[in-house]
């Protein structure tokens, strides 16, 4: 079954979240996950949808202003978390080490994890794609191995929020390389839209991490339907 996760980033407070959840129904044959901002997690959980956080800290508690721990998410009814999204790496100093630490903490507390990896345009054009992916994937793999609750999301940084999307050949190449390093499902993330949802059908693509197109019920449902049709 394909996994389709909608990363809402810093959009939708509790009111909009309740409206979305009331209108959204996941199609048959696909697992749909919603990843709202922290303030909207409770509203999403109350709706009965499958809910992941957008980040999780490695400590159970402590003097970490602004952070949220895995036990807090579990108590709230959240079932998983994204870690290491390219925007966390770019804007908030996330490193391969901290991504691994967050992954370990989440898994230890029974959460599922979508760990994000991906290269920049400069890294791809200079032939460093495999090196970058190896460092990022092995940091997680060395920490937790091929854990049953772990999923990797391949998000080429040059395709995040740019409207650009990797070609099927680029996706197959990257996903095959990631799976050669760590035997876990791999999602594609990078300007996934309904009109390009056929990428999800390709071999080695186990689902998608959807950004902007997950903010509207119609477009997110369309992507989920496309994924459900290729089982």
> By three-state DSSP, how is residue 44 classified?
helix
Q: Which residue has the tokens 């390093």?
A: 181
| Contact (Cβ atoms closer than 8 angstroms) between residue 119 and residue 156 | yes
Query: Is residue 12 over pLDDT 70?
Result: yes
Backbone angles phi, psi at 50, to 5 degrees: -80, 125
C-alpha to C-alpha distances, 14 to 22, 37, 50, 206, nearest whole angstrom:
12, 9, 16, 30
Q: What percent of the chain has pLDDT over 70?
A: 98
Q: What average pLDDT is seen over the chain?
A: 94
Task: Kindly provide the residue ranges of all beta strands, DSSP E only, lying in 49-119, ordered along the sequence.
Answer: 50-53, 80-83, 112-117
pLDDT for res 231: 59
| Domains along the sequence of the chain with CATH | 2-228 (3.20.20.70)
Q: What is the mean pLDDT of residues 15-33?
A: 96
| Contact (Cβ atoms closer than 8 angstroms) between residue 215 and residue 194 | no
Query: Is residue 159 over pLDDT 90?
Result: no
Q: What is the mean pLDDT of residues 115-142?
A: 94
Under 8 Å CB-to-CB from 137, ≥6 apart: which residues? 117, 152, 178, 181, 182
For residues 203 and 7, give the distance between their C-alpha atoms in angstroms, rounded to a whole number: 23
Query: Is residue 15 over pLDDT 70?
Result: yes
Query: Using one digit for the tens of pLDDT, what is the confidence trace for 48-102?
Result: 999 999 999 999 999 999 999 999 999 999 999 999 999 999 999 999 999 999 9
Question: Given pLDDT bands bounded at 50, 70 and 90, which one contains residue 163?
Answer: low
Query: Using one digit for the tens of pLDDT, what is the confidence trace for 181-197?
Result: 999 999 999 888 888 77
Query: Is residue 210 over pLDDT 70?
Result: yes
Which range, of 101-105, 119-123, 170-174, averages the lowest pLDDT? Answer: 119-123
Q: Supply 129's token pair.
A: 């794609």
pLDDT for res 198: 80
Question: Given pLDDT bands bounded at 50, 70 and 90, which one contains residue 161?
Answer: low
**So which residues are the catalytic ones?**
85, 155
Q: Which residue has the tokens 């079954």?
A: 1
């Amino acid at each position: 079954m394909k996994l389709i996760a909608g990363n809402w980033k810093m959009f939708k407070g509790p009111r909009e979240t309740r409206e979305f959840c009331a209108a959204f129904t996941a199609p048959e044959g696909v697992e749909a996950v919603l990843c709202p901002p922290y303030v909207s997690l409770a509203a999403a959980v109350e709706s009965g949808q499958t809910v992941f956080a957008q980040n999780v800290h490695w400590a159970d508690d402590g003097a970490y202003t602004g952070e949220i721990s895995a036990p807090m998410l579990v108590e709230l009814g959240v079932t998983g978390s994204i870690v290491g999204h390219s925007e966390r790496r770019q804007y908030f100093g996330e490193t391969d080490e901290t991504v691994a630490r967050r992954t370990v903490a989440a898994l230890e507390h029974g959460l599922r994890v979508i760990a994000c990896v991906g290269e920049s345009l400069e890294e791809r054009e200079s032939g460093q794609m495999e090196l970058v992916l190896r460092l990022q994937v092995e940091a997680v793999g060395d920490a937790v191995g091929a854990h049953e609750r772990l999923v990797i999301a391949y998000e080429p940084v040059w395709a995040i929020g740019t409207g650009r999307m990797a070609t099927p050949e680029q996706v197959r190449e990257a996903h095959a390389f990631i799976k050669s390093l760590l035997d876990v499902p791999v999602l594609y993330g990078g300007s996934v839209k309904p009109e390009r949802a056929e990428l999800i059908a390709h071999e080695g693509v186990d689902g998608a991490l959807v950004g902007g197109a997950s903010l509207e019920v119609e477009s997110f449902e369309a992507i989920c339907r496309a994924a459900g049709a290729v089982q």
